Structure 1
Amino acid sequence: MDKKLLAILVCPVCKGPLVYDKPKAELICKVDRLAYPIRDDIPVMLEEEARRLPADEEV
C-alpha cells in the first residue's frame, strides 16, 4: 500500500482517518467501526463494500 495514498485517504462516511491493517489488507475506520477492503492494491472505499467490525474486535 502506497504511503502517500494512505496519507490522503479518509473514511467516506465520517471523513475521519483510516488505519492500515496489512495482515487483513483493510483500511479501518475506528470511529464508524468499518473495514474497507484492499483488492489488488486498490482500496475499495464504498460503504456497501465495507465490513462492519464486531464490538469485540480490537481496532
Structure 2
Amino acid sequence: MTFELEMENALMGDILAGTEATTAATAWLKAHPETIEPWLEGVTTLEGAPGAAAVKAALGL
C-alpha cells in the first residue's frame, strides 16, 4: 500500500475543513476506486473471499 501526496492533501484538506475522517476517506475511495485493488492485493475476508471485492461491495461500487 502506498499513499500519494495528492491523496493525502485532498483527505487532510477535507478533514481540516470539518469533514469526519471516515466520511472523507469513504468519499475519496468512491471517487478513486482504482486504488482499492492494488492496496488489497492478497488480502482476504475471514471467509476467504477477495478483500477488494468486499470493500467495493461495502462502498456500493
* TM-score, normalising length: structure 2: 0.23
The structure whose residues are more often helix, as a share, is: 2
The structure whose residues are more often strand, as a share, is: 1
* TM-score, normalising length: structure 1: 0.24
